[in-house]
Amino acid sequence: MLMPRYEYGGDEFIFVELAEEMSLEVNFQAMAITKKLREENAADILDICPSNASYMVRFNPDSIHPDALISKLKELEKSVSMDDFEITSRLVDVPILFEDPWTHEALIRFRDRHQDPESTDLEYVARINGFESTDALIKGITDYPYLVSMIGFVPGLPWCYQMVPREKQIEAPKYVRPRTFTPERAFGFGGAFAVIYPVQGAGGYQLFGIAAAPIFEKDSKLVDFKEDMTFPRQGDIFRYRSITREEYDSIRQQVEEGTFRYVTKDITFKAQDVLENPKAFSDDVLRRLYS
């Protein structure tokens, strides 16, 4: 097992890589360390940015030496324990229209950049993951919820890691060459991560469908965006739910009218419960979300 790596980032940043490979355990460790660091509210720490398997700290070099900060971070690494680490977050129902016309049009435009130009992204990922059909893949995607392990790439984009045993993780490579166009709210998969593209732009993840509701809203018209123009938060638990075109159109109308709200439930859970039995935890999450 590789030891965590501590690196200088110019004059004001320290980058810490806890592991080269993402896992629920290492992501919880990054959350625990950065939470403890944030709670200390030290004047010389200017910003804290947690990631999938790493984190970065911006500090004031006039008040703390980077080596002193690294020593402090190493002590935090040793002191955090998964046994008593609790996460307070939200369970969220996220409606997805799979095999929609908009992402289908986009992926067809860029078949020359794909590993398998003769199939759709769903067909390709279903085959390489051993699913009998695209419907079986969609079921695999929607049967169990996802931990929002980090926010990034563009504002509000949630990187989501499915809370299942490691052998059941769905994985998908990125396109051979990126697309120059991806629709707003496109739902995709890259590596072991599901994402929703907050805005229109370039992208390289496999495209499976489109989210009915926004996760980024510049004007903050909907209630869910009154406090922040981005909806996802690290530690949230998303359940991607397959919907019909009729439900999709209904949600889009609610969004336009300003009446849409995400179905959410607040939850506090122990990281250790997820690590010991992710399937049992996921089953409990679904019961609580829809009860």
- Token match 């690590």: residue? 275
Strand ranges across the sheet with 54-59: 5-9, 13-17, 54-59, 45-50
Specify the pTM.
0.93
> Which of 182, 216, 219, 214 has its CA nearest to residue 201?
182
Query: In the chain, what are the domains?
Result: 5-80 (3.30.1360.40), 88-289 (2.40.100.10)
> Which of 56, 33, 55, 59 has its CA nearest to residue 45?
59
Residue type, 275: L
Q: What would the pLDDT profile of 212-262 be if each residue is shown by its tens digit? A: 999 999 888 999 999 999 999 999 999 999 999 999 999 999 999 999 999
Confidence of residue 185 (pLDDT cuts 50, 70, 90): very high
Q: What would the pLDDT profile of 123-144 be if each residue is shown by its tens digit? A: 999 999 999 999 999 999 999 9
Residue type, 210: I
**Mode of pairing for the β-strands spanning 186-190 and 179-182:** unpaired
Query: Which letter does DSSP use for residue 262 in this model?
Result: -
Q: Please give the backbone phi and psi of residue 139, each rounded to the nearest 5 degrees, phi first.
A: -65, -40
Structure tokens at 270: 């122990």
Structure tokens at 26: 């290492």
Structure tokens at 221: 């018209």
Confidence of residue 2 (pLDDT cuts 50, 70, 90): low
Long-range contacts of 118-121 (CB under 8 A, 24+ apart): 121/188, 121/206, 121/207, 121/208
